[in-house]
Structure 1
Amino acid sequence: MPITVGVVQETFPGERRVALAPSALATLKKAALDLLVQNGAGLAAGFADDAYAEAGAVLLAARDEVFARADIIVQVRALGANPDRWSNDLALMREDQTLIALLEPLAAPDPVRAAAERRINAFALELIPRTTRAQAMDVLSSQANLAGYKAVLLAAEALPKIFPMMMTAAGTITPARVFVIGAGVAGLQAIATARRLGAVTSAYDVRPAVREQVESLGARFVELPLQTHDAQDTSGYARPMDQDFYRRQAELLGELIAEQDVVITTAAVPGQRAPVLITRPMVERMAPGSVIVDLAAERGGNCELTRPGQTLCHKGVQIIGPLNLPATVPVHASQLFARNVAAFILNLVRNGRIQTDADDQIIRETLVAHRGQIVHPRVRQALGL
């Protein structure tokens, strides 16, 4: 019998994405996979049930029926990434069923333990390695792109100025100054978007290697006199630094930030609290009307004053701590996420069977629970095993 993939409606509050968009189903059908979709699973993302039916999926009215019939369940958020409701779905799963989703296994490992106890085979999409072969499956990058774009729009809306220079009969308006901290995927997209809107843009990253990418987008790369030769790990992510480094970095960044109209922060370390890069005194040096958009709000924030999910004003400076920005553009976010997930499934299912081959780096680094055991070393460490 062919492998069956099930798609259900997301239950995380405010989550409008869907794990598989209709446009991604053709490649899975071509690989002889059957598709089950819960009625209404894609409505919040703008995809009608008819679109799934036309793409070859079978529509089911009941969520529990999708869980009962599918060999593989794909979701945007499950287990630790859906902290209040993950247990409801886990109760619907059966032994040897496969779960593919964002799981937050490092920050919230206890639900992974519960999945292992039910003998669920769970794959955490946020652990996909940063390799050439895995690029097509990298959900963090595809979604961070959209977050970087939306961050600039939020800033432009909140700033009591316009971004571009404008020459008028009443005089010339000077362009806004935008400073992006962190030149990963989100940061680079924020730079590109701010430049398209006409802002004078600069950026800083602890990894000197990203200078060329920043400058290729027309922004100025800011160098600080700090020792950063080991600031990048083997996966391409920023490595956590010690407190002395962050203290010295804050001192040097303070001068720069005081001159900016907009600061967008994107610095995050997977599975850990985001480093605090902007302190209260630094905020207080900014001009009234300035804006900080903290894309690390979900990890506690890069700004000392950030409140996740809130916008607050401190001495005239607006500090925006958005959560789940990709879900605010669910059509494209879902399409990109779906392409990543489809590529992951096609790598996982071969010759009509679900592979858990430890020789495959992508499978090895994303598999967190298998046959009753927690198998990922970093998740085991997080659980003290």
Structure 2
Amino acid sequence: MIIGVLRETAAEERRVALIPDDVRGLANMDVIVERDAGRSIGFGDADYRASGARIAERAEVFARSDIVVWVKPPAYPLDSVRPGTTLIGFQDPLHRHDVIAGLRERGIESIGYETVPHSRPDIDALSAMSRIAGAVAYAQGRQLFSAQGPVRALILGCGQAGLSAIAAAVAHGDQPTAIGNRPDQESAAIRYGAETFLPNPVGLLAHLAAEPPDLIVCAAVHRGTRGPLLLDGAALDTLRPGTVIVDLVAKSGGNCVATVPDRTVTLPNGVIVTHRSNYPTLRPVEASSAYSAATAALLKTRFANELRLE
């Protein structure tokens, strides 16, 4: 089996799907790495050669590989991928559904980390990236909030990103409140440091009016589905000027009606809404190491056939 590792081409992407240490651990597989794939995080082609990999141009990676791994879908067409190839990485199934279907018709399978079950934490790259994203997004939002001292934070969603944002709020000395969609999420939210947990987003508008937050992190989404709209126009009208909203799930539809993908906007009432497509890339070494560990584990266990993207 030959594994191909691509150099990332998505905008501002600095991660790599496999780092040299994990390539070295794939003892029974041949690995071909696209030239300069790890350069953005300090790994040169010589590091990959020392790990046992071959360095090649992109065309050869696709021509020779049985499995091709990436972090984010390439920014170029996949016309050169040969039938029988398996593509592993984030697949963005909501926006790339037709592309994935077309690849399948050509005999090319797409395996998305969006479909990996929580029961397999060793190969759950999505959860690992979500934890990094939650912490980074909270820090980014806090930088946009102009007032000094502790802030009142509201975290929408208690998945991995939301829990990480709660922990980041505590680390900053802030006072986080969490809103989940199930009462059984309360114990996790409190364990991560939430001072208050609201088990039902239906009560969000009343909460915003009674206790206006300074910073809101939107992280409510189930993997592979569209995120629910939680902050509509009425909710935004209750917020004070200078309130910051960080929407982590804009690519899945967004939790905030005013979110503009990859932009920071200030609304007429002074509320700031921000989003970026790729928070983990702001910690590229940490994120690459976590992503690579999941990818190597997936390859070693040959778990691919159980993770087909529907």
- TM above 0.5, yes or no, is yes
Select the residue among 119, 137, 151 that pairs with 1:151: 137
1:268 and 2:218 correspond = no
Q: 1:287 is matched with which residue?
A: 240
Q: 2:87 is matched with which residue?
A: 99
User: Which is higher, the Rg of structure 1 or of structure 2?
Assistant: 1
Q: Is the 8 A contact 1:301 1:321 kept in 2?
A: no
Select the residue among 341, 346, 360 that pairs with 2:295: 341
Find the residue that maps to 1:367 and give its secondary structure: coil
Q: 1:306 is matched with which residue?
A: 259
Select the residue among 66, 69, 90 that pairs with 2:64: 69
CA deviation vs aligned residue, 1:212-248 (integer Å, no higher than 9, x gap)? 1111122223235x5xxxxxxxxxxxxxxxxxxx6x4
Q: 1:137 is matched with which residue?
A: 123
Q: 1:234 is matched with which residue?
A: none
AA paired with 2:43?
A: F
Q: 1:112 is matched with which residue?
A: 100
* Alpha carbons of structure 1 residues 107 and 253: separation in structure 2 relative to 1, 3 Å: farther
Q: 1:365 Cα shift? A: 4.4
Counterparts of 1:8 and 1:125, CA distance in 2: 16
CA deviation vs aligned residue, 1:264-318 (integer Å, no higher than 9, x gap)? 1101133333211112232232222221111112222111111111111112211
AA paired with 2:255?
A: N
Select the residue among 156, 169, 178 that pairs with 1:194: 169
AA paired with 1:130?
A: H
Counterparts of 2:254 and 2:83, CA distance in 1: 38
Residue identity (%): 32
Structure 1 segment 1-385 matched on structure 2, within 5 A: 3-29=1-27, 32-60=28-56, 62-78=57-73, 82=74, 85=76, 87=77, 90-131=78-119, 134-163=120-149, 175-224=150-199, 226=200, 248-255=202-209, 258-314=211-267, 315-348=269-302, 363-368=304-309, 379=310
Counterparts of 1:313 and 1:69, CA distance in 2: 49
**Which one is further off, 135-144 or 211-220?**
211-220
Find the residue that maps to 2:140 and give its secondary structure: helix
* Alpha carbons of structure 1 residues 190 and 8: separation in structure 2 relative to 1, 3 Å: same
Counterparts of 1:262 and 1:77, CA distance in 2: 29
Q: 1:329 Cα shift? A: 1.6
Q: 1:106 Cα shift? A: 4.6
AA paired with 1:105?
A: P
Counterparts of 2:198 and 2:103, CA distance in 1: 45
Q: 1:108 Cα shift? A: 2.7
Q: Is the 8 A contact 1:107 1:271 kept in 2?
A: no
Find the residue that maps to 2:70 and give its secondary structure: strand
Structure 2 unmatched runs, 5+? none
CA deviation vs aligned residue, 1:307-359 (integer Å, no higher than 9, x gap)? 111111112211112211112221111111100000000111xxxxxxxxxxx
Find the residue that maps to 1:99 and give its secondary structure: strand
Counterparts of 1:249 and 1:300, CA distance in 2: 21
Indicate the RMSD between aligned Cα atoms, in angstroms.
Answer: 1.9
| TM-score of the pair, normalised by structure 2 | 0.93
Q: Is the 8 A contact 1:46 1:330 kept in 2?
A: no
Q: 1:27 Cα shift? A: 1.6
Aligned residues: 309
Counterparts of 2:224 and 2:198, CA distance in 1: 27
AA paired with 1:143?
A: M
Q: 1:52 Cα shift? A: 1.2
Q: 1:197 Cα shift? A: 0.9
Q: Is the 8 A contact 2:190 2:197 kept in 1?
A: no
Find the residue that maps to 2:127 and give its secondary structure: helix
Q: Is the 8 A contact 1:300 1:306 kept in 2?
A: no
* Alpha carbons of structure 1 residues 303 and 63: separation in structure 2 relative to 1, 3 Å: same
